[in-house]
Structures are given as structure tokens and as C-alpha cells.
């Protein structure tokens, strides 16, 4: 029985083999639930990802890699607390990606702009646009005003539509 928590790389390697949808690229650390990544996360060890117990130690959870998910701070805070591992794994698999969340919120915000003469209806195209840009903060975090952070992206996207 393990007496210390496994390394983040050890957790990532375990889940890459068991549930590849959690680990998009073993060389690119990201949150298992929302797939947040940052440019300066060179390794799993330097990535600002929490080791989140699937079943808490005080509820009988062990310290093996299969009892941990690597989550960003926001997802860790939102994660369910349950004694059944299936609940946590199902939650992480169904969790909305941060890019899909941003896209949905931007579309909702743009629909409310009466002076905007175009409607953004192609969510996939907008998604691709966002994925091509590097965000350095989770849009739902406490330390970034997501609207202010995304206004330049929205303007660039609208400009790209106008120039076509």
C-alpha cells in the first residue's frame, strides 16, 4: 500500500492507459475535466493542477493513481464529493470543456447586443477560432474577469468575419 501521493505524471500515465479521453496528450498537461492548459505548463509536475481524490482518504480512498484526477482549481472546487468512484469519473467525462463554455457565454452575450449587426451562429467555427488562440487563464477563474479577457478575442473574431 502506497504511503505518499503519486506524482502528477504517474496519475496522467495511469489514466492515459485507462481513460485516454482524460489525457489528450501525455506531453501536454491539461485538466482532466475541462481540458484547460497553459503555455507555461512544460511538464505535469509544473502544471498548476490539483491532485483530486476520487474517493477521499477519510472515506476509504487510497493513495494509488487510480484514486486521483488532475483538475484545475475551478474544476476541483466544482467536483462532486462522493464515495462512489463512478460518480466522479462520470462527472469529469461529461464536464463542459472550457472552450465550449466560453463559446456558449460569448454567443449568449452577443445575442444581447442590439447594436451588433451580425449574429454568430457557427459555434464550431468560433470554437476553432478560440482553440487557435492561447489563453493563459481559465475564463471561469476568480482572478480574471472573463468578459474583459475575451473582448479582444471577440473583436478579432468579428473582424475576421467582416474581412471575408
User: Distance (Å, rounded) from C-alpha 66 to C-alpha 88?
Assistant: 12
Q: How confident is the model at residue 144 (pLDDT cuts 50, 70, 90)?
A: very low
CA angle 79, 82, 86 (to 5 degrees): 85
Please give the grid coordinates belonging to residue 124: 464550431
User: Distance (Å, rounded) from C-alpha 52 to C-alpha 55?
Assistant: 9
Tell me if the pTM is above 0.85: no
Please give the grid coordinates belonging to residue 137: 487563464
User: What pLDDT score was predicted for residue 109?
Assistant: 64
pLDDT > 90 in the chain, percent: 38
User: Distance (Å, rounded) from C-alpha 26 to C-alpha 9?
Assistant: 8
Tell me: the pLDDT tens digits for 70-93?
999 999 999 999 899 999 999 999
User: Distance (Å, rounded) from C-alpha 160 to C-alpha 156?
Assistant: 6
Counted residue by residue, the chain has a size of: 164
**Contacts within 8 Å (CB) and 24+ apart, 121-127:** 126/157, 127/99, 127/100, 127/103
Tell me: the pLDDT tens digits for 17-69?
999 989 888 888 999 999 888 877 888 999 999 999 999 888 889 999 999 99
Give the burial class of 5: count Cβ atoms within 10 A of its Cβ; 0-12 exposed, 13-18 middle, 19 or more buried: middle
Domain residue ranges of the chain, discontinuous segments joined by +:
8-94, 98-162
Listed residue (42, 35, 101) closest to 70, CA to CA: 35
Cβ neighbours, 10 Å, residue 104: 14
Amino acid at each position: 500500500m502506497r504511503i505518499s501521493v503519486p506524482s502528477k505524471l504517474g496519475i496522467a500515465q495511469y489514466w492515459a492507459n485507462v481513460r485516454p479521453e482524460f489525457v489528450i496528450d501525455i506531453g501536454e498537461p491539461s485538466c482532466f475535466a475541462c481540458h484547460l492548459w497553459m503555455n507555461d505548463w512544460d511538464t505535469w509536475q509544473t502544471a498548476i493542477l490539483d491532485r483530486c481524490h476520487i474517493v477521499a482518504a477519510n472515506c476509504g480512498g487510497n493513495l494509488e493513481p487510480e484514486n486521483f484526477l488532475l483538475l484545475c482549481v475551478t474544476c476541483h472546487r466544482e467536483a462532486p464529493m462522493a464515495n462512489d468512484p463512478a460518480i466522479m469519473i462520470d462527472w469529469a467525462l461529461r464536464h463542459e470543456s472550457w472552450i465550449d463554455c466560453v463559446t456558449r457565454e460569448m454567443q449568449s452575450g452577443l445575442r444581447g447586443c442590439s447594436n451588433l449587426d451580425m449574429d454568430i451562429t457557427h459555434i464550431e467555427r468560433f470554437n476553432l477560432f478560440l482553440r487557435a488562440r492561447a489563453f493563459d487563464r481559465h475564463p471561469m477563474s476568480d482572478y480574471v474577469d472573463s468578459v474583459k479577457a475575451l473582448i479582444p478575442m471577440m473583436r478579432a473574431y468579428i473582424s475576421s468575419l467582416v474581412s471575408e
